Structure 1
């Protein structure tokens, strides 16, 4: 509890990979079908800190916010369906909310890309900035028990720690049911554990504007984009960035993704980079344009 006339300085620290995972869940799996709004989340944080600290929300200010995540190189992102563009859009959103970004390159391990060192970097920055900027409350958006030592260190400084956590079930890329669950040890160490999934799903909060504004509203431009008809008929273009089991077709303004099962009249493995192909276009379940009925155009027929 703080002096009711003193300003509360809040620092917010995002485990970016966890936040993206949560946001994707609400966009693709949950009935909300919307991503989490950074602006809405920050307003929620101020409101919740006000409630927990027993102080007027006007005195609760986010003075620093930081987002940590591993990410693909520019070349790899450009080779992945609209990835580079999507990351730049999200960077713009973070900058608009004055969130400082911290990125490390993803590393290959056992044939898979993994984050390495992000949690350590977040913990070091959070602890150091708490000392220098004297946060009254540090808000941690994470779920991993690896952050327990950080929380214990912050407790010794007298800084209250609020943890925003989400627990949920979802289907992974292989169609298997998986569970995201917050470390119990982490929940027990923080001052203010906030089970976000319970607040969001609680029907009593249905008309709570602070909860409703946690989610991005579908803007008119996106609605118009989804309503825009895809090009009809058979198209022609060249392939690029062929991978194991999938590839892309150059089709401005974006590259079109296609899966090996979308290939007809031939073998997917016979299609190489820069081959001419014919194809049709449709939208996938995310509303994105993709190619199907892909057929390699043989030399001499081009």
Structure 2
């Protein structure tokens, strides 16, 4: 039951973590903004949006609790997929913002890792906390129709629900159309449906500072310190694990690419950047890298960083005849 005679609007924020990270990836890799969503900026936006909907001063709209739910790889699997650093980086961001994390192990079904039970856990926590912590508004960052029963229950206890939802589509690295949009059932049952894709695009075009603050403006931290070996004057062939090489980028797609290195070009992803921003790379750029091995025990490029083109010695040739591998799936990580 909501506390009476209090002007404060108590806000609880609940993240479907997989959904949120998909949104953040979209703005980083697909959208013209080329930046990830800032959680701090998103919380500030939420306060202003709730204040506007509730017709109160923004100082009276306060986030008193926030929770992040996500399926998670085991430490061994995260290490093998080079995800340990990025998982820890996300933990640091959530911890510094005071967001409570809830993780469940990802389960392998039909040969694929799947998230099971997260939506149920989120719904149970949100309903329990809404009743015990007297939230006036719950902000749900999700899109699945599985949350409809939660919203109906929140409506019965008098807690308003704001849904932050996105509607966009793009073509992935396989040439397939990908669509993200919230369930129509969700939109019909929430108190405040908020079309974030429209708000963001309009705000960016008008230079709205609140919308600009929704994005991270600093480069992503890197998993490894930059290596500065003695650079050769031309391409070098891949050697044993740990060998530092230099070559050009053959292909780039959404978050991954290949470095030219016969006989098999070396796969790398944005997570393998040693410095700089993946989105600043272009096909044909020269990069330094360290030879690594992926979970399939195949050579790949790690600690990738863009470098100036070396001065070629007379007679050096390095053409397309050495380039054999085409774009593959990011499963090679």
Is 2:19–2:142's contact at 8 Å kept on the other side of the alignment? yes
Aligned with 2:262 (options 261, 264, 271): 264
Structure 1 range deviating more: 171-180 or 145-154: 171-180
* Cα drift, residue 218 of structure 1: 2.3
Alignment match, 1:14: 15
Is 2:80–2:294's contact at 8 Å kept on the other side of the alignment? no
Structure 1 range deviating more: 126-135 or 210-219: 210-219
Matched, 1:127 2:130: no
Summarize the Cα distance change of 1:142–1:75 in structure 2 as closer, same or farther, 3 Å threshold. same
Deviations 1:67-105, CA, capped at 9 Å, x for gaps: 000011111111113x11011011100111100010111
Alignment match, 1:26: 27
* Cα drift, residue 24 of structure 1: 0.1
* Cα drift, residue 236 of structure 1: 3.2
SS of corresponding position for 2:239: strand
* Cα drift, residue 221 of structure 1: 6.9
Alignment match, 1:160: 160
Deviations 1:183-233, CA, capped at 9 Å, x for gaps: 0110010000000000011268622111110000024977xx99x999655
Matched, 1:70 2:71: yes
Is 1:236–1:278's contact at 8 Å kept on the other side of the alignment? no
Summarize the Cα distance change of 1:111–1:132 in structure 2 as closer, same or farther, 3 Å threshold. same
Note the 1:287-298 alignment, pairs <5 A: none
Task: Name the CA distance, whole Å, in 2 between partners of 1:274 and 1:220.
Answer: 27
* Cα drift, residue 237 of structure 1: 2.7
Task: Name the CA distance, whole Å, in 1 between partners of 2:148 and 2:300.
Answer: 54
Deviations 1:120-154, CA, capped at 9 Å, x for gaps: 00000000011110100000000011100000000
SS of corresponding position for 1:237: coil
Summarize the Cα distance change of 1:281–1:62 in structure 2 as closer, same or farther, 3 Å threshold. closer
Matched, 1:44 2:45: yes
Aligned with 1:236 (options 236, 239, 242): 239
Task: Name the CA distance, whole Å, in 2 between partners of 1:278 and 1:219.
Answer: 23
SS of corresponding position for 2:11: strand
Note the 1:143-154 alignment, pairs <5 A: 143-154=143-154
* Cα drift, residue 264 of structure 1: 3.0
Deviations 1:1-45, CA, capped at 9 Å, x for gaps: x99960110000000000000000000000000000000000000
Structure 1 range deviating more: 134-143 or 165-174: 165-174
Summarize the Cα distance change of 1:39–1:231 in structure 2 as closer, same or farther, 3 Å threshold. farther
Alignment match, 1:196: 196
Task: Name the CA distance, whole Å, in 1 between partners of 2:203 and 2:59.
Answer: 28
Taking structure 1 as the reference length, what is the TM-score of the superposition? Answer: 0.76
Is 1:237–1:276's contact at 8 Å kept on the other side of the alignment? no
Task: Name the CA distance, whole Å, in 1 between partners of 2:47 and 2:93.
Answer: 19
Structure 1 vs Structure 2 CA RMSD: 3.7
Alignment match, 1:79: 80
